[in-house]
Structure 1
């Protein structure tokens, strides 16, 4: 059986970056200011899965018989190096669209590097960038010369970008294939003196839903994700955080989403965790997720009549946040049958292949 997630347009999802704005390794850990960080120690080794750039991704797809199209999600501080690693590897040249989730440094500070695609029209004449008005206002203040090229100084070699203001709730279309994109509105921390929720976007592209930065996903957004064969979720660390999902929160959401989707006859999605900080060593994190799921699957097999948030009978997510360890309340015994979504920890350069249907 082909276990790849199904799609209509999407061929591949490539993770350009899977870390926080601070990236991994962390400077204090590699300079000796802080000692004992096994994640950062390993991240210094070539090819380490613990080395993480700012969270970003490439969605690569094609129409029947047509050429591939490339959509970039976020263009942060490490975008250029990630592009050097991934564009030649997958034979990519053009960028058909850049989607920005929000206006933080890890999502927008690589916009200046898009000049490499447009200078003298060597690859393309312009890059289309899709963002909300709030995000655009910050970009305009940060990079005025990218919005108005007359403000450029020096040689004047700046990127040629076409700005498209989108709604946080309405579908839009990108690229030569007119790929439909559904923005997924989420809360990513708080802003202003009144501390109102800071609006951030994820995106649903075909059958893939991508949410890299959130501490809350509204039900209306979840409803738009139903039918996804793969979902990408923020999973910063074990402890609670004011602007990101903790690992237990991400797992809770994934279980609830899979339950809701299964109840509608849609099947369970592949779940992928991103935006991981240096407190989470990749290999041990992945192993703990698989051990945890094996226990949940065993419990579910023996309690098939359980309904609702059945996992709460054997798992206390809040206790896990305090203990900094994924564990069940008791040993459910051996696993007999998988009945939960597959979940994995991402790493920079990971490629998820999709199966066209």
Structure 2
């Protein structure tokens, strides 16, 4: 069990209402091709053929090798999907509810592996589909196990009209049972078309759609959805998050984001883009007013962004090496932010109140009106003096996220933009690499993540 390094030991403020979400189970954390990659496991075309059985070649890919050779490997990844569990009151004998985000080709084997050990509810209250690609919808037929196995009479599926068209083409018999050929069972699914913008309710919980862009199709951008429930936001597939969607995510205490590979991709965030997104999300008003702590973080409070989670990973990102890099990256950034706060406090000591007030008016979420370039989350690139996200995407530096020494040239390049950052508003969350079977627990009184396992 891992706990948040940024969590305060003091109790955090909260409203009297109880949140719905109690835990999230990651059923799949890999790309559509899954991990291990078959081409890493088969003999190379240059390997000479010899008669009779032979020892398999060593697997050169670190992630694929670990996935094959280590039982329970965190590098073995199915298609992205999560189960949200919440609601219920044990003392009142009220059962929990289960929401499923995406139902791809690896859903059923993942359910067989993880549902029972983690005591998931028997019924699925709703399935939320992010988009119509194969890795999100090809497991829909397996939902028959719930409706034909006596668990429930039907399963509600929430999807946009664009995704509905894909489902009608791929599974006509699931949409219109008269098109079934007979001789086999057909799941009873109830289709709920949403507009992809308006919040909607599933049972006792409100779900907020998070519109993003995920590549291109038919001469334009391909739309995709993430979803927010309570303080948990989930975006598994995107190459761009509009500022309006970043605002919807703002205030989330836990954010899961697409982080496909080290290099930039036309339909997904790279690792560097994912980190840029997490570090530049807009701050809520309550967040910007909080006092800092010695490690460069804010004390955990309602609406404070505490945990970033990377998902949708290819075999080019090995779990353990990446997590080590993330731990060092977060620790280094927190130390640097703490130093910048002290420097800013010393600099502001001698300033007149009128000047300080004028500066405060120019700053919005830590950004001045002069800021020329923003991060993927629409906030300022405050980390630029010590980390160049584009450099990490170049050949030779693939897969490594390393801070550099703050240099005078970088400071001068930033100019007034860097000087205008209000360092008291800058927060560095914990960043975790997701793995299949990972569970994140939440405090239902505050919505805060309490740890992961």
Q: TM-score, normalised by structure 2?
A: 0.73
Equivalent of residue 35 in structure 2, options 15, 24, 34: 24
Q: 1:295, 1:331 within 8 Å by CA — same for their partners in 2?
A: no
> How far apart in 2 are the matches of 1:3 and 1:201?
34
- 1:182-214: CA deviations, max 9, x gaps? 00000001111x2x1100000001110000000
Q: 2:250, 2:283 within 8 Å by CA — same for their partners in 1?
A: no
What does residue 273 of structure 1 align with?
310
What does residue 374 of structure 2 align with?
none
What does residue 335 of structure 1 align with?
none
What does residue 51 of structure 1 align with?
76
> Quick check: 1:190 aligned with 2:278?
no
User: What SS does structure 1 have at the residue aligned with 2:33?
Assistant: coil
> How far apart in 2 are the matches of 1:67 and 1:123?
14
> How far apart in 2 are the matches of 1:213 and 1:283?
22
Q: TM-score, normalised by structure 1?
A: 0.92
> How far apart in 2 are the matches of 1:98 and 1:264?
38
> Quick check: 1:118 aligned with 2:147?
yes
> How far apart in 1 are the matches of 2:128 and 2:386?
39
> How far apart in 1 are the matches of 2:262 and 2:165?
34
Displacement of 1:303 after TM fit?
A: 0.5
Q: 2:246, 2:282 within 8 Å by CA — same for their partners in 1?
A: no
What does residue 200 of structure 1 align with?
224
> How far apart in 1 are the matches of 2:182 and 2:32?
29
Compare the two structures and name the one with the higher strand fraction: 1
> How far apart in 2 are the matches of 1:345 and 1:22?
18
What does residue 341 of structure 1 align with?
429
Displacement of 1:33 after TM fit?
A: 3.4
Displacement of 1:3 after TM fit?
A: 10
- 1:308-349: CA deviations, max 9, x gaps? 4321121110001112121122179xxxxx951111000000
Q: How does 1:88-127 map to 2 (within 5 A)?
A: 88-91=116-119, 92-119=121-148, 122-127=150-155
> How far apart in 1 are the matches of 2:115 and 2:405?
47
Displacement of 1:260 after TM fit?
A: 5.8
User: What SS does structure 2 have at the residue aligned with 1:310?
Assistant: coil
Equivalent of residue 327 in structure 1, options 380, 397, 402: 402
What does residue 22 of structure 2 align with?
11
> How far apart in 2 are the matches of 1:348 and 1:162?
28
Q: How does 1:154-303 map to 2 (within 5 A)?
A: 154-175=182-203, 177=204, 179-192=205-218, 194=219, 196-257=220-281, 259=283, 262-263=287-288, 266-303=303-340
Displacement of 1:269 after TM fit?
A: 2.8
Q: 1:258, 1:269 within 8 Å by CA — same for their partners in 2?
A: no
> Quick check: 1:350 aligned with 2:374?
no
User: What SS does structure 1 have at the residue aligned with 2:384?
Assistant: helix
Displacement of 1:67 after TM fit?
A: 1.4
> How far apart in 1 are the matches of 2:189 and 2:11?
39
Task: Identify unmatched segments of 5+ residues in structure 2.
Answer: 1-8, 46-58, 291-302, 346-365, 368-380, 408-425, 446-453
Displacement of 1:258 after TM fit?
A: 6.2
> How far apart in 2 are the matches of 1:77 and 1:350?
19
> How far apart in 1 are the matches of 2:10 and 2:71?
32
User: What SS does structure 1 have at the residue aligned with 2:280?
Assistant: helix
- 1:5-49: CA deviations, max 9, x gaps? x97110110000000000000001111338510110110132000
Structure 1 residues 356 and 277: CA distance shift in structure 2, 3 A: same
Q: 1:301, 1:339 within 8 Å by CA — same for their partners in 2?
A: no
What does residue 451 of structure 2 align with?
none
Number of residue pairs the alignment of both structures matches: 346
> How far apart in 2 are the matches of 1:331 and 1:293?
16
> How far apart in 2 are the matches of 1:161 and 1:2?
46
> How far apart in 1 are the matches of 2:166 and 2:434?
29
User: What SS does structure 2 have at the residue aligned with 1:295?
Assistant: helix
Q: Which has the larger radius of gyration?
A: 2
- 1:212-255: CA deviations, max 9, x gaps? 00011111111111221111000111110111111111111101
